[in-house]
Amino acid sequence: MTARPPIAMLAELTHRCPLSCPYCSNPVELARKESELSTAEWAGVFRQAAELGVLQLHLSGGEPASRRDLVELVEAAREAGLYTNLITSGIGLTERRLMALDAAGLDHIQLSLQGTDAETADRIGGYRSGFERKMAVAAWIGKIGFPLTLNFVMHRQNMHQLPRALEMAEEMGARRIEVATVQFHGWAMLNRGALMPSLEQAREAGRIVREARERLKGRLVIDYVPADYHAKYPKPCMGGWGSTGLNVTPDGIVLPCHAAQTIPSLSFETVREKTLGEIWENSSAFNAFRGTDWMAEPCRSCDRKEADFGGCRCQAMALAGDATATDPVCIKSPLHGKIHAMAQDWAAEEGAELTWRTGPERVLEGQS
């Protein structure tokens, strides 16, 4: 199978983070600081990415601001010719550091929002006064003039705050807001009883988004990831597995998707052993679900297979125990009814406790 060049790369610069969101997309086994790629190693990866055809680079984590060399990394990314986006909680960014990032050529900032008030946000993020710090960061971002996307991660405990999140995006002068219902992988899976929205909540959120898109046309772009457990069809897997994007972990493992390590049959290679291009084209993990040949029924003969690529491989693994199965969220999956019923049960769990993310080591304020 020949691979088209990728468009986007997500660089998880570190798994360290001062926050401990219970839906963190990092794996439950976090990479330690000692194993992280160095500044020079990342710079090399960025050059290789640009040569391979990557246009957009997302600097993510953990919290990327926990890397002391963040400004140098942005410089290296821009030198490589990449459009550079920083995905951050804001913690660890000062006005001075933001000015240095501006001088380094950072193109865009995506600021996460755990809740729309300090009480909710700090409880979910597990970090006291985080909300206050974030608001200060948002003001500096506005002052410097960075284009901003607000990223509201939504679940049962904060879904009612969606209208306020939209208002905040406008107040901050954001051009875009991403309203993303929590995806149930890794840490979020441990918390599904506390985070799963109800069907009514999911419908209400959809209604609010539709209405806001109309009202805010031309002012605020709204990207919306609905709750797929309550849907008829699964989310498309980012333009198809191994087709548009790749992910590099803090220690240099190259993944077709951030949750790919939950699929035990796949083995992965690192940028310390091979070039990004070799891995993209030849690695068995990237080729495992490329195209549609790997599909079984009902996907194989389904007319939506080029539209959603059979849904999420990691979700198929987690829910059907088989990464090649149809995403069990799909109405055509034999597991669909069971999954819907399970989602209702999780959504109805009362007083379910949150399990906050822990490790690899907590980063204290001022350390970064």
The residue ranges that bind ligand SF4 (CB under 6 A) are 233-235, 237-238, 257, 259, 298-299, 302, 304-305, 308, 310-315, 326-327, 330, 332
Q: In angstroms, rounded to a whole number, what is the distance separating the alpha carbons of residues 324 and 129?
A: 44
Cα atoms in the Cβ-side hemisphere of radius 13 Å centred on 182 = 31
Q: Does 143 engage in binding with another protein (CB under 8 A)?
A: no
Distance (Å, whole) CA 220 – CA 320: 38
Binding site partner of 257, from another protein, ligand SF4, none, Cβ cut-off 5-8 A by kind: ligand SF4
Using CB under 8 A as the binding rule, whether residue 5 contacts another protein is answered as: yes
Nearest Cα to Cα of residue 203 among 179, 234, 226, 232: 226
Which three-class secondary structure state does DSSP give residue 353?
Answer: coil
Q: Does 277 bind another protein (CB under 8 A)?
A: no
Residues 90-109 that bind another protein (CB under 8 A): 107-108
Regarding beta strands 269-270 and 253-255, do their DSSP bridges make them parallel or antiparallel, or are they unpaired?
A: antiparallel
Residue listed under structure tokens 């600097």: 59
Q: Which residues pair with 247 in a beta bridge?
A: 10, 255
If one asks whether residue 51 binds another protein (CB under 8 A), the answer comes out as yes
How many Å is the Cα radius of gyration of the chain? 20
CB of 286 to ligand SF4, least distance (A): 12
Q: Is 160 in the site for another protein (CB under 8 A)?
A: no
Q: Are 330 and 345 in contact (CB under 8 A)?
A: no
Q: Does 147 bind another protein (CB under 8 A)?
A: yes
Q: Which of 32, 176, 203, 332 binds another protein (CB under 8 A)?
A: 176
Among another protein, ligand SF4, none, what does residue 326 contact (CB within 5–8 Å per kind)? ligand SF4
By the rule CB under 8 A, 146 interacts with another protein: yes
240 binds, among ligand SF4, another protein, none (CB under 5 to 8 A by kind): none
In sequence order, what are the residues at sequence separation of 6 or more whose Cβ sits closer than 8 angstroms to the Cβ of residue 28? 186, 187, 190
User: If contact means CB under 5 to 8 A according to the sort of partner, which of ligand SF4, another protein, none does residue 298 touch?
Assistant: ligand SF4
The partner residues of 222 in beta bridges, in order of sequence, read 177
CB of 44 to ligand SF4, least distance (A): 25
Q: Note whether 81 binds another protein by CB under 8 A.
A: yes
Q: Classify 5 in phi/psi space as left (phi over 0), alpha (psi -120 to 50) or beta.
A: beta
User: 200 is in the binding site of which of ligand SF4, another protein, none (Cβ under 5 to 8 A by kind)?
Assistant: none
Residue 333: CB minimum distance to another protein, A: 30
53 counts as binding another protein under rule CB under 8 A: yes
Closest by alpha carbon to 332, among 241, 240, 232, 239?
Answer: 232
Residues 300-339 close enough to bind another protein by CB under 8 A: none
AA letter at 64: P
Shortest Cβ 7–another protein spacing (Å): 6
